[in-house]
């Protein structure tokens, strides 16, 4: 009986110290946040095992599972913080900016880059830090071919559900990865799912970031096929448009329709006299901090 009491007492003390240690590591607004490393990530989903072995996933969930219509939320933030949040360029110039989120992806980013090169068009890629680290050669290709690069966090969390410490870690960790590959820290930042709150916008402004939204959504993440994707864009595009597309996503998504749609989108807009520019060119800000 005495031995049993000693065991219970030892277990209680161990649990108490474990709780105290955990609390200590989560103080200061999450500044000590340390998500699992790429090497520790375990992918157990069924699918292309070779792809899953080196493709960091979206911790916030698939775009199709998380994205909800928020028709005015980013417009409110843009109105409140006009020097930080940008949703489009000048309506006086026939310029448009193609943007691609959630890469680099070994399956779809090269397809997109090939089409852009074919049409001699420059675009802007918002990269996930963990994927840029895993696919350095594709990241380098994006940069070397003259496309602009923005920060799309390291693990793609749903930021409004996190604290400011998480945003700080995601931002700076991705900056370091991109800096190591391209030689600069990106000024442009796009939040996963386009979701932000006031406190986060203020922090990003203090960190000398420009928050980039969009005013044309291709809805390519719904995987509806190239014709529907191109129609979504061409039916809504105008002078100064920032067009949202994806060259990566959840492991189960087939985004080949994105690259296929670009031929029609680019050809039609060029015929209408539109000039394709990067986001830094569209809004007149530097690509680097």
The per-residue pLDDT for range 253-286, each reduced to its tens digit, is 999 999 999 999 999 999 999 999 999 999 999 9
The answer to whether the CB of 101 falls within 8 A of the CB of 281 is no
Residue 14 has pLDDT above 50, yes or no: no
What whole-number distance in Å separates Cα of residue 8 and Cα of residue 12?
6
Instruction: Identify the pLDDT of residue 170.
Output: 98
Instruction: Identify the pLDDT of residue 175.
Output: 98
Predicted confidence band of residue 251 (pLDDT cuts 50, 70, 90) = confident
Which conformational region is residue 41 in: left (phi greater than 0), alpha (psi within -120 to 50 degrees), or beta? beta
Kindly report the CATH number that applies to the domain delimited by 74-283: 3.20.20.370
What whole-number distance in Å separates Cα of residue 101 and Cα of residue 109?
10
Domain residue limits, the chain: 74-283
Residue 144 has pLDDT above 50, yes or no: yes
Predicted confidence band of residue 38 (pLDDT cuts 50, 70, 90) = very low
Distance, CA of 227 to chain centre: 25
Q: What is the mean pLDDT of residues 217-233?
A: 96
Residue 45 has pLDDT above 50, yes or no: no
Residues designated catalytic: 101, 246
Helices (H), the chain: 2-25, 49-53, 63-66, 73-80, 109-119, 129-134, 136-144, 164-182, 198-206, 226-234, 256-271, 279-283
| DSSP state at residue 157 | -
């Amino acid at each position: 009986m005495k031995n049993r009491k000693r065991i219970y007492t030892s277990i209680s003390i161990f649990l108490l110290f474990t709780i105290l240690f955990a609390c200590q590591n989560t103080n200061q607004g999450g500044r000590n946040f340390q998500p699992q490393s790429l090497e520790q990530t375990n992918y157990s989903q069924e699918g292309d095992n070779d792809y899953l072995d080196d493709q960091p996933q979206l911790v916030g969930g698939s775009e199709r599972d998380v994205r909800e219509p928020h028709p005015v939320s980013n417009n409110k933030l843009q109105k409140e913080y006009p020097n930080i949040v940008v949703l489009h360029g000048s309506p006086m110039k026939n310029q448009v900016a193609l943007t691609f989120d959630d890469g680099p992806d070994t399956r779809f980013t090269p397809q997109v880059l090939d089409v852009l090169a074919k049409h001699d068009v420059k675009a802007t890629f918002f990269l996930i830090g963990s994927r840029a680290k895993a696919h350095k050669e594709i990241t380098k290709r994006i940069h070397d071919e003259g496309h602009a690069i923005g920060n799309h966090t390291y693990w793609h969390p749903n930021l409004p559900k996190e604290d400011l410490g998480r945003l700080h870690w995601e931002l700076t960790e991705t900056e370091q990865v991109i800096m190591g590959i391209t030689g600069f820290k990106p000024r442009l930042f796009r939040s996963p799912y386009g979701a932000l709150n006031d406190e986060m916008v203020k922090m990003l402004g203090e960190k000398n970031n420009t928050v980039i939204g969009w005013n044309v959504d291709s809805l390519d993440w719904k995987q509806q096929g190239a014709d529907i994707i191109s129609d979504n864009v061409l039916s809504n595009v105008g002078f100064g448009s920032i067009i949202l597309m994806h060259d990566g996503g959840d492991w189960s998504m087939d985004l080949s329709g994105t690259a296929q749609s670009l031929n029609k989108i680019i050809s039609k807009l060029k015929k209408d006299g539109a000039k394709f520019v990067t986001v830094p060119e569209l809004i007149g800000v530097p690509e680097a901090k």
